[in-house]
Chains A and B, each alone.
Chain A
Amino acid sequence: MRNTLTSFVEELRATGIPVSMVETLDAADALTHTDLSDRENLRATLGATLVKNPHHYPAFDAAFDVYFGGRRSYAVVDGDDREDEDACLSDDALRDEVLDALLADDRDALRALVARAVDRYAGMQPGRPVGGRYYSYRVMRRLDADDLLLRILAALATVEEDSSLAERMRADEAEGLMARLRQEVDQEVTSRLVDERGASEVAASRRMPLLEDVDLMHATRTEIDDIERVVAPLARKLATRLSQRRKRGRHGRLDVRRTIRASLGHGGVLLEPKFKPPRTAKPEIVVLCDVSGSMATFARFTLQLTYAISSELSKVRSFAFIDGLDEVTSYFSHDVDFADALIDMTRSASLVRRDGHSDYGRSLEEMVDSYLDVITPRTTVIITGDARNNYRPTGVDHLAKVAGRARATFWLNPEPRRYWDTGDSVMSAYAPWCDVVDQVRTLRQLERFVERAALPVTRSTHLV
């Protein structure tokens, strides 16, 4: 067990979950009080001692299933028996049985059926260099997942009366059942791969990125939902950190009144100077977001994070562009749902002038023409976009004008650095006018960047 634990901890660390030495020792301690034959008990013990962040649990569970998924007992059924039995069960009959097992919530039966489906459909061959996902996908396709979902829905429909609420409940339940089937197939495939290749190798191939390391540009729908949920606490953490730094910085002017008041305690001797809190101006931020196509997701998190820390900023104004630019500040007032605001924005802001393909030159020109007075020497300008300009004029002069007025100009590009300046990307044309051009692909990088951009502008008011 000790070896498995060490190797499991190593896997967690490789995923990015920070596990300290002390926590590993705690886990080892706790294991002596755990019924090791009960998988869920074991999961609870290891989870409680090793993983201290709720967002890390999906990655933990994935690794746990690989390491402790366990050998599946029914697999010992005599090979010949199974062949015989197998032959007389047609594909359709197998699917019917899977459906029945799902609807009856008979987990043992389902497990056995899934094992059979994997035998039949996955086409697993030892030494074949493909990941488990490929095998799972093949099994689900042969089981015809879409059709199964429809049949589950139909089966559920007979018992319930018809209302939109009941319909929704049915859809949720059917989704849940399908998710269970998918999980069973995954688990079956994984455990066979583990037998073949060993746990640590399989874990490495199935590793899930932590939420903060998910590539924002290519995040899946569920990942985006999950990230959405993390952004709020993350922003609050960021806001606290910023306000602390603002409060704790060096002190400001001498406070004569409080110094004299304090001196009364020592008979009027000016023993202890008192200072006013420092006067640090909060920065103003202007965000310019490319919201075309795949950039939209990224722009959305930048905007969301910026607005979430707006208490630490004196002013936030946001502009969105595709091949035209419009101010969108008013869409993101505090009490609206962020997702709704985005939909609202894309519907009613005028962002498209011609064909709906990014035109940075034209957008920057519109910024200069209509909103140049927004930018003051206290403004930090943040531009997010891939600088893919569809071979149109770059309009660097306009960027120069914007950057010339601003305190600082940052450009966030979610594309990997090696793709910059390939094809229609004109990043290096804009780069000279920006103070920082950064590759920001994940939530973690975005957080670090926003923190830097929101640092207060300290005025030199230090006296004494």
Chain B
Amino acid sequence: MQADWHSPDDVRAALGGTGYLADARIAQVVYLAARLDKPILAEGPAGVGKTALALALAEATGRRLVRLQCYEGLDEAKALYEWDYHKQLLRLQSDEGAQWDDLEGDIFSESFLLTRPLLEAIRSPEPVVLLVDEVDRVELETEALLLEILDSFQVTIPELGTITATTKPLVVLTSNNTRELSEALKRRCLYLHVPYPTIERERAILRARVPDLPEDMGERIARTVASIRGIGARKPPSVSESIDWARTLLALGIAELTDEATSSTLNVLLKYQTDIDKVMKELSLPTPDEIQSG
């Protein structure tokens, strides 16, 4: 399916078909990734659609999505493969007296191997989309696990040898930039910085995701959110939060974004009280008390 992509515009159209609005840069990087068989490292603030990009890619190419969610303490056994210890034990007990050589070859065969996401992506007979989500959560050492796969799409298992991918997976790594990733990892990837969308793109996203929203409301919401992001809150509103906000306003039947309406729904957009206070002050919005008395 990705063979159909002859230009970034094809990528854009394909992703657009799944409801993911890619800008020119995203389309170009995805196109390069498909052409050069290189992983994409998508980095940017939370909630700008990094994970959604991988989901959309899977849908657009009709491939299966294999997902590895990273967390602190993730290790080889959870990411790559593990021997099925219980099954091996049962096998040993089931025929005592068998020759050791036979047994050894037997219990370290593939039927005793538990595949974890990374190995699964490599071994899959059909090409897949591999999503390694929030890679910045694992420790620096664990990153090394990924290097062999990203480099040459292969995994080395001491007992079995090297398993090479028959079909090259499309790999997307995401990072929220809570820490800097190692140079070795970055070097192997195409880097895609996903910032907050421009006002036009956010409006288009709102149009796609909240179709009932009146057009001028979408415009106002996108501009307000952009302005709030400029204020420098501790947790600036993400795209998913501005979608939530649009839905909230719609559900409440608010047709016009007045100061009062903004002030009373700001908690959908911002998740810290200090942020809410700051934004209220910066935009000189009325507090609930003032709304009451006014």
Contact = CB atoms under 8 A, between A and B. Distances in A.
Contacts of B44: 54
B274 A336 contact: yes
Interface stretch (A44-52, A106-114, A428-436): A44-52
A165 to B, nearest CB: 5
A54 B193 contact: yes
B36 A48 contact: no
29 contacts: A18-B183, A20-B187, A30-B32, A33-B31, A35-B8, A40-B25, A45-B28, A48-B32, A51-B191, A52-B186, A52-B191, A53-B180, A54-B43, A57-B193, A165-B257, A168-B284, A169-B220, A169-B224, A172-B223, A172-B226, A173-B223, A225-B232, A229-B232, A233-B177, A236-B178, A236-B179, A237-B180, A240-B140, A340-B274
Interface in A327-373: 335-337, 339-340
Interface string A252-271: 00000000000000000000
Nearest first, the 10 closest Cβ-Cβ pairs linking A and B are A44-B28, A52-B186, A44-B25, A52-B191, A48-B190, A164-B284, A33-B35, A237-B179, A48-B29, A163-B259
A463 interface: no
B18 interface: no
Interface residues of A, number: 43
B36 A22 contact: no
B52 interface: no
Interface in B1-48: 7-8, 24-25, 28-29, 31-32, 35-36, 38, 41, 43-44
Interface string A155-198: 00000000111001100110000000000000000000000000
Interface in A43-71: 43-45, 47-49, 51-54, 57
B210 interface: no
Interface in A294-342: 335-337, 339-340
Given A26-B36, A34-B28, A164-B284, A54 B257 contact: no
Interface in A400-431: none
Interface string B261-294: 0100000000000100010001111000000000
Interface string A1-25: 0000000000000000010101100
A213 interface: no
Given A26-B36, A40-B24, A337 B274 contact: yes
B24 A26 contact: no
Interface string B164-191: 0000000000000111100100110111
A353 to B, nearest CB: 32
B258 interface: yes
A25 to B, nearest CB: 11
Contacts of A169: 220, 223-224, 227
A41 interface: yes
Interface of A: 18, 20, 22-23, 26, 29-30, 33-35, 40-41, 43-45, 47-49, 51-54, 57, 163-165, 168-169, 172-173, 225, 228-229, 233, 236-237, 240, 244, 335-337, 339-340
Contacts of A225: 232
Contacts, number: 109
B262 A22 contact: no
A165 B259 contact: yes
A151 B270 CA distance: 33
B73 interface: no
Given A30-B32, A49-B191, 17 more contacts: A18-B183, A20-B183, A20-B187, A26-B38, A29-B36, A34-B32, A54-B193, A164-B283, A164-B284, A165-B258, A172-B226, A172-B230, A228-B232, A233-B178, A233-B180, A240-B139, A340-B274
B234 interface: yes
| Count class of interface residues, chain B | 35 or more
A294 B220 CA distance: 40
B31 A23 contact: no
A401 B285 CA distance: 52
Nearest to A229: B232
A306 B177 CA distance: 20
B192 interface: yes
Given A49-B190, A164-B284, A164-B285, A335 B274 contact: yes
A347 to B, nearest CB: 16
Contacts of B220: 169
A335 B38 CA distance: 41
Contact of B285 (A30, A34, A45, A165): A165
Nearest to B185: A52
Nearest to B24: A40
Contacts of B224: 165, 169
A454 to B, nearest CB: 16
Contact of A172 (B189, B227, B258): B227
A319 to B, nearest CB: 25
A124 to B, nearest CB: 32
Given A54-B44, A165-B283, A228-B232, A41 B227 contact: no
A18 B44 CA distance: 20
A331 to B, nearest CB: 14
Q: Which of A18, A54, A163, A173 has the most CB of B within 10 A?
A: A163
A83 to B, nearest CB: 38
Contact of A47 (B35, B191, B257): B191
A149 B38 CA distance: 46
Interface string B136-155: 00011000000000000000
Contacts of B31: 33
A244 B72 CA distance: 13
B162 to A, nearest CB: 22
B201 to A, nearest CB: 14
Contacts of A47: 25, 191, 193
